[in-house]
Amino acid sequence: MSQIVVKATGLTKRYGQFTAVDAVDFTLAENRIYGLLGRNGAGKTTIMQLLTGQLFPNAGEAEVFGRTPAEHSDVLRNLCFIAESQRYPEDFAPRHVFKAAPWFFENWDQAFAERLIADFRLPLKRPIKKLSRGQLSAVGVIVGLASRAPLTFFDEPYLGLDAVARHIFYDRLLEDYAEHPRTIVLSTHLIDEVANLLEHIILIDQGRILLDRDAEEVRGSATTIAGPRAVVDQFVADRPVIGTEGIGGLASVTIDGRLEQPDRIRAAELGLELAPVSLQQLIVHLTGADLAGSTEGEAAA
């Protein structure tokens, strides 16, 4: 049984009359990669701010390494939070950030940081305020990875990072995690890109937890059937369809649930292809179909 590093009980955050995080209960286990997913305004950043002691809850509590984060500096030393728009002191250049980082993170690996700096082609001496948007994100990503903090939060860390840079991030994260396991919480809207990285999904909607499940189980909870539109339509006629895609005569339809063996055989006989569901498609379905267009747009961006 793996160790629990975070335990949230009835965790609640209100802003005036508005409840951003509504009595959520969840745990995060040691050495696992979590996807904290959900639509804009769902409450993801607020939850991460509560867990890292940047906000106080109005009700409930969060225990991080068995303690309340804001009140125990030794807890904070084990945390790394990379925000979407990380701020740095005026007149800092990246080299100042990497020089200061070991003071905050006791597991900081300078050699790893240097390798990442080369990977991301980050100019070390250029003032941070003159960096491009993607370069600024790279600074945060490097700090988050090289910190090797036992509990690391990446909140949409890659604004402006190009596709190559994002894949460097994913590859390095996985390689390093294999050698230095830790708990990582990744919040992102690029769900399909990170789907293979995630071991556990926590899906938030309007401040509440909609799904808290092992990623493999989530993937296995629906099936995509692809092939000629007429054949697919006939095959899925009486089944719970949760998503439809396709062009021209080809269709790819996702249904809720697994297919049993006789259905699998019938699908094969009809020349249909069965594929595991896309995590993004499932999440779009769970949090409202009107999200479909926007997430696809983001993923392509």
Query: Residues in the site for ligand ATP, rule: CB under 6 A?
Result: 15, 18, 20, 38, 40-46
Give the residue with the Cβ less far from ligand ATP, 44 or 172.
44
Residue-level length of the chain = 301
Contact 3, 26 (CB under 8 A): no
Quote the least distance from Cβ 16 to ligand ATP, whole Å: 7
Burial class of residue 240 (count of CB atoms within 10 Å of its CB; 0-12, 13-18, 19+): exposed
Burial class (CB in 10 A: 0-12, 13-18, 19+), 228: middle
Q: Rounded CA gap, 143 and 237, in Å?
A: 51
Q: Please, which residues bridge with residue 201 across strands?
A: 35, 213
Nearer to ligand ATP, 11 or 113 (CB): 11
Please identify, using beta-carbon distances, which residue of 51 and 272 lies nearer to ligand ATP: 51
Instruction: Supply the minimum distance, in Å, between the C-beta of residue 272 and ligand ATP.
Output: 36
User: DSSP 3-state assignment of 68?
Assistant: coil
Q: Closest approach of Cβ 38 to ligand ATP, in Å?
A: 5
Q: Give me the least distance between CB of 52 and ligand ATP, in Å please.
A: 13
CA of 48: how far to CAs of 53, 81, 106, 165, 228, in Å? 9, 8, 21, 24, 44
Query: Nearer Cβ to ligand ATP, position 40 or 261?
Result: 40
State both tokens at 162. 């190009």
Closer to ligand ATP at the Cβ: 20 or 101? 20
Least Å from the CB of residue 22 to ligand ATP: 11
